[in-house]
Chain A
């Protein structure tokens, strides 16, 4: 599979957590930098139309703080950084996500014929 085009449903499920993790990693950052960092991590190109509503939700949940600053010759930008509540939420969600993905990986690693369904066996 081309790593720049993961299934949309996978990206959607993980995006909010990944964006929060990128913000924590980058310190004080801004939307376009988060998009680039997600791409550098191999999550593919996240469009502005997808990213900015996620940034808004994080801010509305109190997980990030934002402020607008003047740009040097540019249009100015909105800086974002993780809040204390965001750091706690990230730690908690990271742990939950780790447990979830481990279970998915365990399921997918299970050989297809190792647990035949008893009822189906009886009908043969």
Chain B
């Protein structure tokens, strides 16, 4: 017997694996909706009916590129990482006093960091999941998640940089 939590967890995992296999967002929406409808009607557990999400996803798309080292992902990762680092560094430098990285005033680092992050999010290629039952709604594109992760990581790096600079 499936629960809505089990099904949600399964479809989230399935969506991730399908995204990694670069399946088109509209097709992902269909595959996920088929799973949801089937388990709702049969009362079966999603994993019992469809097998592990990773194995089921292998029937669609191409083999996943785990490292994703193509020009697009490297550029998104690098720019959002630098943007996040500048934003964090500039923010803390402004609050605590002193210069940010490269001797920039804190507010300049904040502005440049925000500009880089905005540029990344505006220019992101989108492979959003589209539910065929609600075609107007779109999910989160995978590359946007990459940008959020790298911007956060960059922010942490920026903070660490500042703490090291202050300790000196």
- Contacts from A to B (Cβ < 8 Å): 30-32, 35, 47-49, 52-53, 68, 70-71, 74-78
Contact = CB atoms under 8 A, between A and B. Distances in A.
Given A31-B38, A32-B42, A75-B40, A49 B49 contact: yes
A50 B40 CA distance: 17
Interface of B: 30-31, 33-42, 44, 48-51, 55-56, 59-60, 132-133
Nearest to B134: A76
A93 B50 CA distance: 28
Nearest to A67: B132
Contact of B44 (A31, A48, A76, A78): A48
Contacts of B59: 49, 53
Nearest to A30: B37
A78 B51 contact: no
Given A47-B49, A48-B44, A76-B33, A68 B133 contact: yes
Contact of A52 (B38, B132, B133): B38
